[in-house]
Amino acid sequence: MAIVCKSQAEIEKMRHSGRILRQVLNMVRELAVAGASTMDLEHAAEEKIKELGARPAFKGYHDYPCVLCTSVNQEIVHGIPSQRRVLKAGDIVSIDCGVVVDGYYADAAITVPVGGATTPELQRLLDVTRESLYRGIEAARLGNSVGDVGAAVQEYVEANGFSIVREFVGHGIGRQLHEEPQVPNFGVRGHGARLEEGMVLAIEPMVNAGRPGARLLSDKWTAVTEDGSYSAHFEHCVAVTRNGPMILTE
């Protein structure tokens, strides 16, 4: 399977999908308050996606049951919303969502402190993870390679004393949720596929406060840190253009 490059018209369509997705995430993040269950977020997101004329990208994908992934504290990614998972002050929750509009996918994630505030150390984990995404985006330029993106993310995260999760990676995106190439959040500058005009990458660093290891819970979806440390996740879809990286999900 080859990397599918998108025309300018296709990139505009993907930006439209991305903007709709951002509206969903902006609404859901406000619901991440103490006493809310992650299923409350799920229900609101599903409603909003419908209202905006989009279709959820995750629900039904390899039998995944929900429109959101909600990963709390030591959960890294793919946490399944549940009525029993009630958020409390001090928690952090990653909200990951995907939509399809007119055949084109968008995929993005944010991690937010429940009720808007957490401890200084966890706030630093969120800030470093978000900034590492922007370092990766900056590297998504013509002439660079996939390895430059990963190296930019990894160097920033490790310089700040946190760890990159290796078990899950970013990906190409377009008419499918997951396309080539894989986009690891680690790498060697100059290695991997060359970035070409029209490539669209979902860059999604997952950063652990402690050791890098991950394991899967018995639900076969939820990935948690091996050492029980907390983990954060941010994601944007980014087009590689002659004018530099263009974020499609803001």
Q: Which residues bind Co ion (CB under 5 A)?
A: 107, 202, 204
| Closest to 248 measured CA to CA, from 137, 95, 94 | 137
The interface partner of residue 58, options being Co ion, ligand MF3, none and the CB cut-off 5 to 8 Å by kind, is: ligand MF3
Residue given tokens 């991440």 in the structure block:
32
**Interacting stretch for ligand MF3, rule CB under 6 A, among 7-15, 45-53, 56-64, 115-123?**
56-64
**What is the C-alpha separation between 220 and 84, in angstroms, rounded?**
18
CB of 79 to ligand MF3, least distance (A): 10
Sign, Cα dihedral of 101, 232, 135, 152: negative
Which position among 69, 164, 223, 246 is part of the footprint of ligand MF3 (CB under 6 A)?
69
At which residue do the structure tokens 């983990």 appear? 231
Cβ neighbour number for residue 106 with a 10 Å cutoff: 30
In DSSP terms, 94 is beta-bridged to: 71, 111
**What are residue 23's phi and psi, to 5 degrees?**
-60, -40
Q: Considering beta carbons, is residue 6 or 78 the nearer one to ligand MF3?
A: 78
What are residue 9's phi and psi, to 5 degrees? -65, -40
The binder of 165, among ligand MF3, Co ion, none, by C-beta within 5 to 8 A per type, is none
Interaction of residue 64 with ligand MF3, rule CB under 6 A: yes
* 179 forms part of the interface with ligand MF3 (CB under 6 A): no
Nearer to ligand MF3, 62 or 84 (CB): 62
Question: Is it true that the peptide bond before 205 is cis, omega within 30 degrees of 0?
Answer: no
User: Which among 61-69, 149-157, 193-201, 208-216 is the span making contact with ligand MF3, rule CB under 6 A?
Assistant: 61-69
C-alpha distances (whole Å) from 125 to each of 134, 136, 206 are: 15, 17, 11
Pick the closer one to ligand MF3 by CB: 64 or 166.
Answer: 64
Q: Of 40, 42, 75, 96, which lies in the binding site for ligand MF3, with binding defined by CB under 6 A?
A: 96
Please report whether residue 61 would count as binding ligand MF3 according to CB under 6 A: yes
Residues that bind ligand MF3 (CB under 6 A): 58, 61-62, 64, 69, 78, 96, 107, 109, 171, 202, 204, 235
